[in-house]
A and B are shown apart, each in its own frame.
Chain A
């Protein structure tokens, strides 16, 4: 069913048009990287604070609230160009191990952020300025740093469809 959806998208005239244009893919991928710099970079600045590793003279809520609008601009660019990249050549991604792993990691990063906001972050007023935030905050910070690095890594590795586990190849998806 998923395969049929990806194949249907691949046959859309607009998908074919981007796929066959010389500058479509390079433009989208370059914009995707620039969006990543804004989003990933500013997420890292916040995570380092939560982990107790850096930006310690600024309170957690300051970093959280004041960087948020810029992170959203970054994520809007990365997300829209990411969708467009898949839209332009869905069958390149359908059977790609690193593409699906990246999506799983994105989901985990989202879950980590939601759990943190629903639990430890509720008491932020009591530890906002502490150089060493409570365990829950440090854990969320380290997990987020690790997950976003893994997302960048798996994103780049999509280009290396040959370097995947043998069991994945045995699935014969592509």
Chain B
């Protein structure tokens, strides 16, 4: 299976040409993407730290998680909405970048993990989690999203 035809199709879309032709489109997308990343990371880390027994330890886990959730979702939505046009504008560069595929594979795994296993653990009764499960979930979450961020940053630097 090859994604090449799909990336070639994205490259020739008129919106892809529009984004590339305006000097300001790409920087605006990038700065919005990066700002949303900070929000997303904050909402993610406040819960991961709590799962690790750090940070807001005097608040119930599920409460910290519920408070952070709207900001996690907002950050995620903005990241996707500003990520797709960047992919459209530079689709062939992305296709031939190893870091892009690293990021995308990591992103799929991290997203599924976040909205299934991590979501369940972060809303669970802490006594039911035991001493290790929450910590393992938090560490996996941090490692996965750090990996996605590293891959993302390196697309533009080492591709």
Contact = CB atoms under 8 A, between A and B. Distances in A.
Interface of A: 25-26, 29-30, 33-34, 36-38, 40-45, 48, 54-58, 62-63, 66-67, 70, 148-149, 152-153, 156-157, 160, 162-163
Given A58-B67, A152-B38, A162-B23, A38 B31 contact: no
A55 B41 contact: no
Interface residues of B, number: 38
Interface in B28-55: 30-31, 34-35, 37-46, 49, 54-55
A163 B41 contact: no
A33 to B, nearest CB: 5
Nearest to A30: B153
A42 B39 CA distance: 8
B1 interface: no
Contact of B38 (A37, A55, A56, A70): A37
Contacts of A54: 67, 70-71
Interface string B89-116: 0000000000000000000000000000
Contacts, number: 105
B45 A29 contact: no
A34 B71 contact: no
14 contacts: A26-B158, A33-B37, A33-B153, A40-B41, A42-B45, A45-B71, A54-B67, A55-B46, A55-B68, A66-B57, A70-B45, A149-B35, A152-B38, A153-B35
A56 B57 CA distance: 16
B83 interface: no
A62 B67 contact: no
A63 B46 CA distance: 10
A44 B149 CA distance: 18
Interface stretch (B9-17, B58-66, B120-128): B58-66
B37 A37 contact: yes
Contact of A36 (B38, B67, B146): B38
A58 B57 contact: no
B84 interface: no
B27 interface: yes
A70 B56 CA distance: 11
Contacts of B46: 41-42, 45, 55, 67
